[in-house]
Amino acid sequence: MKVAIQGIKGSFHDIVARQFFGDNIELIECMSFTEIPVLLKNNEVDSAVMAIENSIAGAILPNYALIDEYNLNIEGEVYLNIHHHLMALKGQKLEDIKEVWSHPMAILQCRKYFRNHPNIKLIEEKDTAEVAKRIQNEKIKGIAAIASKEAAKLYNLEVIADDIQTIKYNSTRFFILKKEKNSPVHSNKIGGVQNKSSIKFITKHETGSLAEVLDIFAKHEISLTKIQSLPKIDEPWKYSFFIDLVFDDNTLYNNALHLINKKVTHLKILGEYHQNILTK
């Protein structure tokens, strides 16, 4: 099967794709998240991996907007512990490094480390692994990449500093996406029953409307693991709410959605899937 990822082989998206689907996949590499929904809609790929939030940097709001805009369906989630390593051509040492190139999120997650090295200039690039590959291919000296240990091995670079992320237990949550709800369900290594969902709703412009919705979930024994608001770009100062729910009883869950549908002006199920548990 064809799986679209942001980045190239050796990137964190690549690691997640193989954790979820196994190694028997064809990667379709994208340098930006905006390419991914188009590939899905045009049936050029079967599935896709998209980072949605990080424990240090927070939610990736544009990706919520992409999933909503293209009416993509979430078929799974993966939490990945992120270990950032500083790497360069073999023989290079930290004092040789003048610039570090990497994805903006990777740089953000390693800011504290570079405060102690103010002589190093940080340059934002499109992908962690792609920088590692370029350094090796072009034999670039004085430049280091922030990337995974897999990228260092794959592109034959030397790790000059391990685990440089600000918080050692740094994790990213990824969504596994398909074109739409009715698209085929793909076999994967995560498995499990559907006990989690992501939904979007827009409340009525009335006092206490959001509280009423949240109260319905509580009364139906449904746990909220995340709530995220996103501005409606066509209606200034109005917001859509994206919520993740965990439930044990499908009947209670469906009854809650039925009641909530009467309380909101818009309700959309973005995906129902198996809850993935983060392990250290």
174 and 35 in one domain? yes
Q: Is 279 a domain residue?
A: no
Picking from 147, 178, 209, the residue at the C-terminal end of a domain is 178
Q: Give me the CATH number covering residue 107.
A: 3.40.190.10
126 and 65 in one domain? no
Predicted confidence at residue 280, as pLDDT, reads 58
44 has pLDDT over 90:
yes
Q: Is 186 a domain residue?
A: no
Phi, psi at 61, each rounded to 5°: -60, -40
* HSE of 178, CA atoms in CB hemisphere, 13 A: 15
105 and 59 in one domain? no
Residues 120-134 pLDDT 10s: 999 999 999 999 999
Residue 19, phi-psi category: left (phi > 0), alpha (psi -120 to 50), beta (remainder): alpha
Q: Is 29 a domain residue?
A: yes
Give the residue-averaged pLDDT of 153-178: 95
Range of the structural domain that residue 115 is part of: 85-161
pTM score, whole prediction: 0.91
Domain count within the chain: 3
| 3 or 280: which leads in pLDDT | 3
Q: Is 187 a domain residue?
A: no
Q: Is 278 a domain residue?
A: no
12 and 75 in one domain? yes
131 and 20 in one domain? no
Predicted confidence at residue 268, as pLDDT, reads 97
**Which of 15, 8, 30, 51 has the alpha carbon at shortest distance from 177?**
51
Tokens read off for 28:
């379709």
